[in-house]
């Protein structure tokens, strides 16, 4: 049949290349292969096949090399070409350009370009094979199996479960193409690590994409409990009475406008002995209307993802637990909706946080910092070594950094250095922002209370004044605040992430925790 298709193609009987591909795919069991190649070191030279691709080509009588030579004149980094007639048990092979060999750390970009090139190339390859109907895909590790797995699984993510069955993308089973490799065990281990990291981020993406009516605070708590208890994490779901008993007035002031009851999640992963642990705090606003200070209607639907901090927190915990990282982690997630109603907090109201500080709420749309204030206070009662919070906190960080990097505010340069190095490896970058007394004065000079939930100069330095507000509720000497509003969504900036909610910076946080664990054990 394959030979017949080739003859038809040559004779010009098949004018539609897509039809030809579909026929060929159906014959060879929908099995595809992604192989890598590198740009030539010097212009005019031939592309270089990866080790796996070269070994594969030897078994196919140099058909792959001939195909690359004849079709790769315009092939650029991240691009790919598809070979159909390979006589090797695969209905189609996507040959992907990984860029130049030897690419590494780019200081200007603060990026490990080699690993990012692999993610991009592999993601493009597996998506193309899926579009051709392949449901079983093997992937060349391209020199870094972890990065290849990340590109594969992140690239295939799609949220379409609420669509009709015939409108959903086909599910693809992926695996590492290890047959020609010498150290198969090591390569497979790296692949599994990359897969787990991608799964953690994809879970965060899935939660962020879920419509708010399907992911209320109660439903979020149920999903997380089911998922993380299977990984031997302890999960406690606290109700409104518990929140009131803890005197979390700042958190409750946001929740009171909604008919949905608030929840407070406590999660513990015990990866090491003793009481030493690190704390993660995630903002869990499952829908943000802005409250009485209501948001514009345009794009308000995106506020289903205002629980991105909570989603990335549980996504990171998922990966940490599955990787058995030897460190203990406790997570604290305040969950509620921010809605306008007759019971909602009004601009100008004064509320009291768990630590006794009073807060003048001049803008009810600056609600994330209100629920985080109480969560931070509570997390610190357990004396953690470090506190890291994540929140889609301010539009101002999007104005400042866009989707290029997560904004980080911290009182600890050593912790910043570890986080920054982690982001270089993951390709999910972070950027340090100022945490100056200059901004503190703008939130502590309040007419009616100890602090104001917005800076006195309103929009100026909005991300910085939000961080300064949070600092008023932090006593830990190792605190990092990650404002992830700018990286909440992906359009086309990150090639290996599809359009939609991004789940960033889940993998960077996991890598950061891994490095902390290594430091503790050394």
- Domain-wise residue ranges, the chain: 2-182, 220-521
pLDDT at 184 over 70: no
Q: How confident is the model at residue 124 (pLDDT cuts 50, 70, 90)?
A: very high
What are 286's two structure tokens?
A: 């499952």
Question: In this model, does residue 461 exceed pLDDT 90?
Answer: yes
**Quick one: 469 exposed, middle or buried, by C-beta within 10 A (0-12, 13-18, 19+)?**
buried
> Is the pLDDT assigned to residue 199 strictly greater than 70?
yes
What does the pLDDT read at residue 23? Answer: 43
Mean pLDDT, residues 478-497: 97
Give the Cα separation of 363 and 280 in Å (integer): 26
Q: Which helix (H) or strand (E) holds 139?
A: strand 136-139
CB 384 within 8 A of CB 476: yes
Coil, helix or strand for 257? coil
The pLDDT assigned to 474 comes to 98
pLDDT value for 283: 98
463: region left, alpha or beta (phi > 0 left; psi from -120 to 50 alpha):
alpha
| Helix, strand or coil, per DSSP, at residue 58 | helix
Q: Which residue has the higher pLDDT, 263 or 71?
A: 263
Rounded distance between C-alpha atoms, residue 45 and residue 38, angstroms: 11
Note whether 348 and 295 are within 8 A (CB): no
Determine how many CB atoms are found less than 10 A away from the CB of residue 295: 15
Confidence band, pLDDT 50/70/90 cuts, at residue 442: very high
pLDDT of residue 288 exceeding 80, the answer is yes
Instruction: Provide mean pLDDT across the span 146-161.
Output: 97
In the structure, what pLDDT confidence band is assigned to residue 6 with cuts at 50, 70 and 90? very low
If one counts every other C-beta atom within 10 angstroms of the C-beta of residue 109, the result is 13
Domains 2-182 and 220-521 share a fold: no
Mean pLDDT of 509-517: 98
Residue found by looking up tokens 């089911």 in the block? 226
Burial-class residue 482 by CB neighbours within 10 Å (0-12, 13-18, 19+): buried
Residues β-bridged to residue 111: 106
Active site residues: 295, 369
Q: Which two tokens stand for residue 408?
A: 């980080």
How much of the chain exceeds pLDDT 70, in percent? 91
- 500 in Cβ contact with 205 (< 8 Å): yes
Are the C-beta atoms of residues 48 and 100 closer than 8 Å to each other?
no
For the chain, the straight-line distance linking the first and the last C-alpha, in angstroms and rounded, comes to: 60
The CATH number of the domain covering residues in 2-182:
3.40.220.10
From residue 275, alpha-carbon distances to 58, 78, 269, 322 in Å are: 56, 46, 12, 21
For residue 171, the tally of other CB atoms under 10 A from its CB is 9
Cα 465 from chain centroid (whole Å)? 25
Average pLDDT score over the chain = 91
What is the spatial distance between Cα 433 and Cα 424, in angstroms, rounded to a whole number? 17
Asked if 343 and 327 count as a contact pair (C-beta separation under 8 A), the reply is: no
Structure confidence at residue 102 (pLDDT): 77
Cβ neighbours around 432 below 10 Å, total: 16
28 pLDDT above the threshold of 60 = no
Residue 274: pLDDT band with limits 50, 70, 90: confident
Cβ–Cβ under 8 Å, residues 330 and 267: yes
d(CA 452, CA 454) in angstroms, rounded, equals: 5
Contact 490, 308 (CB under 8 A): no
Residue 444's pLDDT is 96
* pLDDT score at 27: 47
pLDDT at position 17: 42
**Run of H or E including 483:** strand 479-483
Q: What Rg value do the Cα atoms of the chain yield, rounded?
A: 25
Give the mean pLDDT of 197-206: 98
Q: Is residue 21 over pLDDT 50?
A: no
| Confidence category of residue 181, pLDDT binned at 50, 70, 90 | low
The pLDDT of residue 73 is: 64
- Mean pLDDT of the region 442-471: 93
For the domain 220-521, what is the CATH code?
3.40.630.10
């Amino acid at each position: 049949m394959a030979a017949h298709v080739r003859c038809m193609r040559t004779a010009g009987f098949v004018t539609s290349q897509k039809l030809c591909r579909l026929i060929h795919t159906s014959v060879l069991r929908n099995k595809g292969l992604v192989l890598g190649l590198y740009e030539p070191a010097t212009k005019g030279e031939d592309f270089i096949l990866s080790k796996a691709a070269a070994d594969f080509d030897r078994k196919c009588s140099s058909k792959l090399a001939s195909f690359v030579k004849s079709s790769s004149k315009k092939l650029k980094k991240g691009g790919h070409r598809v070979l159909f007639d390979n006589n090797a048990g695969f209905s189609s092979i996507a040959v992907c350009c990984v860029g130049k060999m030897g690419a590494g750390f780019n200081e200007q970009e603060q990026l490990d370009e080699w690993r990012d090139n692999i993610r991009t190339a592999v993601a493009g390859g597996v998506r193309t094979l899926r579009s051709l109907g392949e449901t079983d895909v093997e992937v060349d590790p391209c020199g870094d199996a972890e990065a290849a797995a990340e590109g594969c699984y992140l690239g295939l993510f799609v949220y379409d479960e609420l669509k009709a069955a015939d409108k959903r993308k086909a599910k693809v089973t992926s695996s590492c193409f290890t047959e020609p490799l010498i150290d198969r065990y090591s390569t497979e281990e790296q692949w599994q690590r990359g897969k787990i990291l991608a799964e953690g981020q994809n879970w965060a993406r899935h939660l962020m994409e879920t419509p708010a009516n399907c992911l209320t605070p109660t439903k979020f708590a149920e999903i997380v409990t089911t998922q993380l208890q299977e990984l031997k994490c302890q999960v406690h779901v606290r109700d409104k009475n518990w929140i009131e008993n803890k005197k979390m007035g700042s958190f409750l002031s946001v929740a009171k406008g909604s008919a949905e009851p608030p929840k407070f999640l406590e999660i513990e992963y015990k990866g090491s002995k003793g009481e030493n642990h690190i704390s993660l705090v995630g903002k869990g606003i499952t829908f943000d209307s802005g409250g009485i200070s209501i948001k514009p209607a345009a794009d308000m639907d995106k506020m289903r993802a205002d629980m991105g901090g909570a989603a990335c927190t549980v996504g990171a915990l998922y990966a940490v637990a599955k990787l058995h990282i030897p460190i203990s982690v406790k997570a604290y997630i305040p969950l509620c909706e921010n809605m306008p109603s007759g019971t909602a907090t009004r601009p100008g109201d004064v509320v009291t946080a768990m630590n006794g500080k009073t807060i003048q709420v001049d803008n009810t749309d600056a609600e994330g910092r209100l629920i985080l204030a109480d969560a931070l206070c509570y997390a610190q009662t357990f004396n953690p070594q470090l506190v890291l919070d994540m929140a889609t906190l301010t539009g101002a960080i999007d104005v400042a950094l866009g989707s290029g990097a997560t904004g980080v505010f911290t009182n600890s340069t050593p912790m910043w250095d570890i986080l920054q190095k982690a982001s270089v490896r993951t390709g999910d970058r972070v950027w340090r922002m100022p945490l100056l007394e200059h901004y503190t004065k703008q939130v502590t000079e309040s007419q009616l209370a100890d602090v104001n939930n917005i800076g006195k100069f309103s929009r100026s330095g909005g991300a910085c004044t939000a961080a300064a507000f949070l600092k008023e509720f932090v006593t830990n000497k190792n605190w990092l605040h990650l404002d992830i509003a700018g990286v909440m969504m992906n359009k086309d900036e990150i090639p290996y992430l599809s359009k939609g909610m991004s789940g960033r910076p889940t993998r960077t946080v996991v890598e950061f925790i891994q490095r902390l664990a290594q430091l503790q054990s050394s």
